[in-house]
Amino acid sequence: MSILSHYTNDFEAVIRIFSPEEGGRETSICNGIRWDFAYASDIMPLTLYMIYPDFFDQEGRSLPDDLPLPTGVDLPARMFVLVKEMRDLHRQKIRKGVRFYCHEGGRRVAEGVVTRITGLLNER
């Protein structure tokens, strides 16, 4: 996760990647994926944000970026709000229990829920 290594994560979540049968991606997804983020509570038109995951194991180590991630199971992830100017908006919306979706273009490929706020309330 070298692209995110100079950032402090903003919150943690569990994310379930959809299987192809659920409308998810046909090809494997690896750690380092750059999905767009959408709040489940948002009403159309859908607004997508640059909030990226770093999936990690039980010891808190980032999962490798060269192995496929499993579908249909909850995976813990550290989440990073990349656009500094959007942090105030996300500080108002992100709370423990907030549900969200991960998108590739207009396609919903995963769903998640916020489990813990970490660095979001701090300035960068």
CATH topology of domain 11-117: Elongation Factor Tu (Ef-tu); domain 3 (2.40.30)
pLDDT at 4: 64
Taking only the tens place, the pLDDT of each residue in 45-70 is 678 899 999 999 999 999 999 999 99
Please return the burial class of 123, using the count of CB atoms within 10 Å of its CB with bins 0-12, 13-18 and 19+.
Answer: exposed
Give the DSSP per-residue string, 3-14.
TTTTS---EEEE
Phi-psi domain of 5 (left: phi exceeds 0; alpha: psi -120 through 50; beta: other): alpha
pLDDT at 45: 64
Ranges of residues in the chain with a pLDDT under 50 are: 1
Comparing C-alpha atoms, which of 113, 76, 79, 110 is closest to residue 96?
A: 113
How far apart (Å, rounded) are the C-alpha atoms in residues 46 and 44? 5
pLDDT of residue 47: 84
pLDDT score of 22 = 93
Residue 1 pLDDT = 47
Which residues have C-beta within 8 Å of that of residue 118, sequence separation ≥ 6? 8, 9, 10, 11, 12, 78
Written as one letter, the residue type at 94 is I
